[in-house]
Chains A and B, each alone.
Chain A
Amino acid sequence: MEQGERRQSGSWHPYLVMLLAGVAIAAVAALRAPEGTATPLVREQFWLRKVEQPAAYEMVLAGDSRVLCDLSPAVMSAVTMRKTLNFAFNFTGYESRYLEAIEAKLDPTVPAREIVLGITPRSLTPLNMRVSGFLEESDRPASERLATRYLGGELSRLRPFVLGSIAVASSGRTSAKNFYPDGLMAVELNPPDPDFDLNTYRTIFVGNKVSEPSIQQLLRKVRSWTDSGVRVYGFRPPVAPRIFEAESMSGFNEQRFVKGFEAAGGKWLRPDASGVVLADGSHVTASNVPEFSRRLAAAIVAARARTGTSAPDAMPIS
C-alpha cells in the first residue's frame, strides 16, 4: 500500500490476488494427469523435436495424422533395415514447404533413400494446404521454441484443457496419446468407436474437394525424387467403412491417382489392413500400430524384391 493510504479491513492488495491466482494455477498444474504414460516426451517437445530433425534418415514416412498415428518407425526399421523417421503431422497437406521438408530429412550421403507417403483425400484438399499442422509447428516463434526446449515438461502442465476431451471422458470413454521420439503419436480410445470421426469426415469435404493442382504438384515432386534415385512408396491408410464412404465426397479418384503416381516413378502399396483395430474410425489404435507397421514394411520389402532392387540388408518379416 502506498504512502498516505490505509488498507480497509477485508480488502485485498492486488499482489495478494496475484499470489492467490499463482497458487491456484500451480495446484491445477500439479494435480492434472499427464497426457500419456508410455514415454517421457510431452506434446510440445515432440513437435519441436520432429520439426528440428536433422537430415539423417534413410526412410521418411510422411502424411497427415493417419500416418502420424498409424506407423511406428521403430517397428518398420527393424523390417526394412532403414533408419526411419515418422515425419507426419496433424491435418497436413502436401504443399510445397512440406514436400521440401520431407526431402530435407533424408541423409544425402546414403545411396538407399526411401520416402513413404500416406495418401488421404484430405491431405490433397485446399484446406490442408493452407491450415497445416506442419506449417503451424514450423512457424512457431523462436521464443516458444526456446521455452519448449528448456521448460517443455513444466509448461506442458499449463496447456489448456480441451473441452472436447472432457466431453469424451464424461461419456464413459477413456482416451490417451503417447508421443515417441521417432515421430509416432500413438492414440487410444477405449472402447474404440469406428464412427467417432464420421461427422468430421462428412463435413470436411463440403466446398473442400481434392485439388488437381495439389495432386500435380505432388506428382511432379515424386518424379523429381525418383529421378534423383529416391524410392517413393504410396499407400492409403486404413479407415472405417462409413468414413471411407464419406471420403468419396472429396472427389478423390484413387485409381487415377495411382496411375499418375506410378507414372511418376512411385510404387503403390496395398498393405493388408484386415483385423487392424481403428481407435476412432480413422487412426489405428496404439496396440495395433506395430502389426500394421510390420505389414506395411513387409509390403515395402516385397516391392523392392519385385523391382529387382531389393536391398541386400532387407530382413524377412518376423
Chain B
Amino acid sequence: MLFNSLPFLFFIVLFAAGWPLARRRDGSRWVYIIACSLFFYGWWNWKYVPLLVATALVDFAAGLAIHVWRKHARKFLLASILMNLGVLGYFKYWFAVASAIDVTSRQLGVPLGLHVERWILPVGISFYTFQSMSYTIDIYWGRLTPTRNPLHFLAAISFFPHLVAGPIMRAGKLLPQLLSGNPASGGAKAEGLRLLVHGYFKKMVIADNLSGLVDSAFTSPVSFHSGFEWWVIMAMFSMQIYCDFSGYSDIGRGIARWCGYDFGVNFRHPYAATSIREFWQRWHISLSSWFRDYVYLPLGGSRGSEVATCRNIAVTMLLSAIWHGAGLTYLVWGALHAAYMIAGRFASGALAAVAPWLRALAGRPLLWVQVMLAWVFFRASSTEQAAEIAGAMFGMRSLAMGLSRTALFFLVVGIVHEVATYFLDRREPEQLIRTAEALGLAMLVVACVFLRGPAGAFIYFQF
C-alpha cells in the first residue's frame, strides 16, 4: 500500500480510529500493530507476508539462542546472517548473478543451462532484513537483551510506518518504545503533523511533478538534451530522489509520532552539507549509520593506517551500493562516493591548513557537482548511458535551454521549500503550532491536493 494512495487514506483513518483503544492494553497493542502492518504489507502482495513473518521468527529464535547458549552464539549469529543475506540475495541478486554466469558459460562454450527465473522483489526486503540482522548482531555483541515474546519482535520489524522503505529501525531503539502505550503528547502530535504535511508535499508536489521530465529525459537519446540541460535535469533528479525518499521517511515518522513513537531523523538537509562525509551524515542516516556500525567500524574504521582506512571506506561504500541493486551502475555510484570520500580525507586537511575559507566557499557547490555526477550513474539504465550523459554535462557543447517551464517551476518550489525548512528545522521539534505556521501548513495541504503530480510509487520501494 502506498502512503500516497486512496486505500491508504482509508487504512490510516481506520487504524487511527482503533489505535486509542488498542494501545492501552499490552496484548491488544502488539496484536493490533502486527495485524494492521501485515494487512498493509499484504495489500501489495499477500504471498510475501509469510516470508516477512518467517524471517522475523527465525531471527527472534536466533536472538534467544545467541543469548541463552553463549558458547554457540557465533554459530547462531552466522546462521541468522546467512539466512537474511540468503533471502535477500535470492530475491534481489540471483537473477543478475545467474544471468551473468549463464551468459559467460555460453560464451566460453560450456553452457551450464542455468534456470534463471526472475522473482518479483518483495517490497521492503532490503529494509526489514537489515533491521532483523541488526537485532541478532546487537545481541551477539551484548548490546541488547532479546525479547522473549515473538509478538514484540514481529511488531517491531513489521510496524508499517517504516516497513517498506525505512527508516531502518533497529530493534534496540524501537522495541523499548513499543512497550509503552502512552498517548502522544500535544508537542509530538504537532511534530507529527509537520512531518506528515511536509512529507506529503515533498512527495506529491515536488517529486511527482519532477518525475515526468526526468523519466522522459532518461528514456530519450542523450543527444536530445544540451549539456546545460543535463545539468538542470540532474538538479531535478537530485531534488526528486531527495523529496521522494525523505518525503516517505517523514510521512512514516509523522505517523509514528502520532502513535507516540519516535523513529529519529533520517534526512537532515543533505544538500546543505559542505563535504561528502557530511553528506552521508545527513542522507539516509539510518542506512549510513547501519553500515558505519556493522561494517565500517568492525573493519577497523579509521583506527588503522591511512591505507586501511581508505580500504574500509571503499568496502563500506561498495556494499552500500550493492544494497541498492545488483547493477554495474550502482557499483560505479558507490565507487564514485568512495573516491570522493577518500579524496576528501586528504584534501580537507590540506585545505584547512592553506585556505580554510575556500572550503566554506566552495564546499557546497563542489558537493552538488559531485553528488549530481554520481546520481547520473544511480539513475541511468546502463553505464554506457551514464557515461554519455556525463560526457554531455562536462562537454557543454551547447547551452540551449528548452526544458518544460512547469518542471523548472517545481524545481524552484523544491529549492525554496528546502531552504525554508532548513531554517524552520532549527527550532524545537515539538514546538506547538502558531498561527502563521498553521496557515502555512494548511496551504501546503491544499497544494498537495491541487498541485499534486501524477501519483507514482516511491523510488526506494525498488530497493
Chain A residues with CB under 8 Å of chain B are 1-2, 5, 7-8, 10-14, 16-18, 20-21, 24-25, 28, 127, 141, 143-144, 147, 158, 160-161, 163-164, 167, 203, 206-208
Contacts and interface: CB of A to CB of B under 8 A. Distances in A.
A161 B438 CA distance: 23
Nearest to B453: A160
A8 B428 CA distance: 15
Contacts of B422: none
B449 A158 contact: yes
| A8, A24, A143, A160: most-surrounded residue (chain B CB, <10 A) | A160
A143 B364 CA distance: 44
A164 B192 CA distance: 34
| A13, A18, A21: most-surrounded residue (chain B CB, <10 A) | A21
Contacts of B450: 25, 28, 158, 160-161
A1 B445 CA distance: 22
Given A2-B183, A14-B193, A160-B453, A24 B443 contact: yes
Interface stretch (B123-131, B317-325, B429-437): B429-437
B432 A11 contact: yes
B190 interface: yes
Contacts of B437: 12
A147 B438 contact: no
Given A11-B434, A144-B6, A206-B224, 6 more contacts: A5-B185, A7-B432, A12-B434, A12-B438, A28-B446, A163-B451
B435 A12 contact: yes
A13 B221 contact: no
Contacts of B446: 21, 24-25, 28
Interface in B379-437: 405-406, 409, 432-435, 437
A314 B50 CA distance: 62
10 contacts: A5-B185, A14-B192, A16-B438, A141-B5, A144-B6, A147-B6, A158-B450, A160-B452, A161-B450, A164-B406
B184 interface: yes
Contacts of A167: 405
B438 A20 contact: yes
Nearest to B184: A2
B211 to A, nearest CB: 13
A208 B224 CA distance: 11
Contacts of B445: 18, 21, 24-25
Nearest to A159: B450
Contact of A207 (B5, B183, B220, B438): B220
B451 A160 contact: yes
A17 B184 contact: no
Nearest to B191: A14
A8 B432 contact: yes
B459 interface: no
Contacts of B224: 203, 206-207
B186 interface: yes
B254 to A, nearest CB: 10
B441 interface: yes
B451 A7 contact: no
**Leading 6 A-B pairs by shortest Cβ distance:** A21-B445, A11-B432, A207-B221, A12-B438, A14-B193, A21-B442
B442 A143 contact: no
B189 interface: yes
B207 to A, nearest CB: 14
Given A5-B185, A160-B452, A17 B432 contact: no
A25 B442 CA distance: 9
A161 B451 contact: yes
Nearest to B221: A207
Contact of B442 (A8, A24, A208): A24
B111 interface: no
Given A21-B445, A24-B442, A11 B406 contact: no
B433 A1 contact: no
Given A17-B442, A18-B193, A5 B186 contact: yes
Contacts of A21: 441-442, 445-446
B448 to A, nearest CB: 9
Nearest to A151: B6
| A12, A16, A147, A161: most-surrounded residue (chain B CB, <10 A) | A12
B433 A11 contact: yes
B356 interface: no
Nearest to B188: A2
Given A10-B434, A160-B451, A2 B186 contact: yes
A35 to B, nearest CB: 14
A203 B405 CA distance: 16
A9 B368 CA distance: 43
Nearest to B440: A17
A137 to B, nearest CB: 13
Contacts of B452: 160
B142 interface: no
A193 B411 CA distance: 30
Contacts of A7: 186, 432
| B5, B189, B434, B442: most-surrounded residue (chain A CB, <10 A) | B442
Nearest to B43: A143
Contacts of B406: 163-164
B432 to A, nearest CB: 4
B7 interface: yes
B185 A143 contact: no
Contacts of B409: 163
Interface string B168-196: 00000000000000011110011011000
